Amino acid sequence: MRRLVCCMAAAASLAALSGCGLDMPGMPDGRGTFLVTVADTSGLFPGSVAGEPFYLDSVEVRLDSRTHMFGAVQTTNEAGVTCFDHLATGSYSVFARREILLGSAKKTFTGSFTALIMGDKTLSDTLVVNLINSSQLMINEIYYMGSCASTFYFYDQFCELYNSSNDTLYLDGCIVTRQLGTIDPEMEQKDYVTAIYAFQFPGTPVTGREYPIYPKQLLAIAQDAVNHSRYCSASIDLTNADWEFFNQLGSDYDNLLVPNLLNIIPNKTTDWMISLGHNAVVIATGEEYTIDSDNHVRLPISTVIDGVEYSANSSSSKELTVRVDAGFAGINLVKYGGQSTERRELGLDTNDSTFDFWNPPYPTPGYYYAH
Ligand SMILES: [Ca+2]
Ligand SMILES: [Ca+2]
Ligand SMILES: [Ca+2]
């Protein structure tokens, strides 16, 4: 690692890299070049100063197209620079990740942005990474694709939560939703998010201490806690799910051995069924919400603990504010393909699901896909 003290030095190193000479990512039709410089300003790296850019070597940088099927991974050099070339015109997501040992603790720094590559232009940009804050409750996995196309079987959907902190947290009164799947042009001006279905853990929000999730615990909430492989051989057994969505107003199945989250919307009889295409799931503290005139639930963003939007198509229009999730999980997933979407790394939450999630080949309720 070498700290560059002036911009001139950085510019010179960028110029030296023009035309790359690094590994080709393999897009023969493309002529664009993208120089990515990765820097930290936290002052946490040995030899760095807080507030000043410190260029990082050995950073894994991922480039994923948002407009066509393409992905490449490269590593920054001693000047903190890496180069992708032979790129086709289009929109790309850039993700950087670097681990260091601080004392005895392994810390992970990440950062991401999107960029537009046009024609044969060379684009240069600097990506500033930030330390992952992993002391929280988060959505770790959403399995929504279903497993049997022949019978349109998707009753095996589940949502998995993870406590990435070192403290026991409590789920009392927490709400888990299916978000309203519409494009709202005024979404970014609103201080709430809107759910079409909402289910709540028992207990008192915020202050309740009856329903723990222990440090590093993964907890699965099943649409229905049954052995789905009896109805679809490619499906999974969810009889051991930790919790179950149960709509007491409908004709929902209730596994009496698995505790329930109950529907909170008047006259709503539907189970927690989420879209197989494009949708979002939010968890909120449950301390405050209102029901609007369309019988939808408005959750103040200040009460949102985590939210994940998923879509097979990375160029979909956002339905969940970028203040909760800037990207999409589940990109390229196929309906009834039996694949799931899960965090790339336990506790990795940058609020950009395009970066935070990948698609393991099968669902892992209550455990993590080792990869
Ligand atoms: Ca149910
Ligand atoms: Ca039950
Ligand atoms: Ca899992």
pLDDT of 24 > 90? The answer is no
pLDDT in tens, 302-358: 999 999 999 999 889 999 999 899 899 999 999 999 999 999 888 888 788 988 899
Query: pLDDT category, 133, cuts 50, 70, 90?
Result: low
The answer to whether 15 and 33 have CB atoms below 8 angstroms apart is: no
Q: How far is the CA of 260 from the centre of ligand 2 (A)?
A: 5
Q: Where exactly does CATH 2.60.40.10 map onto the chain?
A: 7-131
Among residues 288, 342, 306, the alpha carbon closest in space to that of 179 is found at: 306
**Parallel, antiparallel or unpaired: strands 278-284 and 175-179:** antiparallel
**Parallel, antiparallel or unpaired: strands 260-263 and 243-246:** parallel
Q: How far is the CA of 42 from the centre of ligand 3 (A)?
A: 32
The answer to whether 138 and 164 have CB atoms below 8 angstroms apart is: yes
Q: How far is the CA of 296 from the centre of ligand 3 (A)?
A: 29
C-alpha angle 329-220-107 in degrees, rounded to nearest 5: 60
Gyration radius of the chain's alpha carbons? 22
pLDDT at 134: 57
With a CB cutoff of 8 Å and minimum separation 6, the contacts of 149 are 335, 336
pLDDT at 136: 85
Tokens (6 digits) for 320: 């969940």
Q: Domain 7-131 classified CATH 3.90.1170.50? A: no
Cα–Cα distance for residue pair 108/133, rounded to 1 Å: 9
Q: Which one is predicted more confidently, 76 or 7?
A: 76
pLDDT at 20: 63
Cα–Cα distance for residue pair 246/266, rounded to 1 Å: 14
The answer to whether 128 and 42 have CB atoms below 8 angstroms apart is: no
Q: How far is the CA of 255 from the centre of ligand 2 (A)?
A: 4
Q: Tell how far CA 249 is from the center of its chain.
A: 32
Residue 319 to residues 142, 188, 218, 283, Cα–Cα distance (Å): 17, 10, 27, 16
Amino acid occupying residue 254: D
pLDDT in tens, 74-123: 999 999 999 999 999 998 989 898 988 877 677 888 888 889 999 999 99
With a CB cutoff of 8 Å and minimum separation 6, the contacts of 316 are 278, 328
pLDDT of 26 > 50? The answer is no
Q: How far is the CA of 229 from the centre of ligand 1 (A)?
A: 16
Q: How far is the CA of 94 from the centre of ligand 3 (A)?
A: 25
Ligand approaching nearest to the C-alpha of 242: 2
Ligand approaching nearest to the C-alpha of 252: 1
Strands (E), 265-355: 278-284, 290-291, 297-300, 304-311, 341-343
Neighbours of 191 (CB within 10 A): 10
pLDDT at 269: 98
Over range 44-69, report the average pLDDT: 91
**Parallel, antiparallel or unpaired: strands 212-213 and 218-222:** unpaired
DSSP string, 61-86: EEEEESSSS-EEEEE--TTSEEEEEE
Q: Residue 207 burial by CB count (10 A; 0-12/13-18/19+): exposed, middle or buried?
A: exposed
Ligand approaching nearest to the C-alpha of 254: 2
Q: How far is the CA of 369 from the centre of ligand 3 (A)?
A: 6
Q: How far is the CA of 36 from the centre of ligand 3 (A)?
A: 32
pLDDT of 129 > 50? The answer is yes
pLDDT at 156: 97
Query: pLDDT category, 363, cuts 50, 70, 90?
Result: very high
The answer to whether 170 and 213 have CB atoms below 8 angstroms apart is: yes
pLDDT at 28: 46
Query: pLDDT category, 3, cuts 50, 70, 90?
Result: very low
- H or E stretch at 354: helix 353-356
- Look up the pTM and report it: 0.76
Q: How far is the CA of 220 from the centre of ligand 3 (A)?
A: 8
Q: How far is the CA of 159 from the centre of ligand 1 (A)?
A: 12
Cα–Cα distance for residue pair 227/352, rounded to 1 Å: 33
Q: How far is the CA of 162 from the centre of ligand 3 (A)?
A: 9
Ligand approaching nearest to the C-alpha of 251: 1
Q: How far is the CA of 248 from the centre of ligand 1 (A)?
A: 9
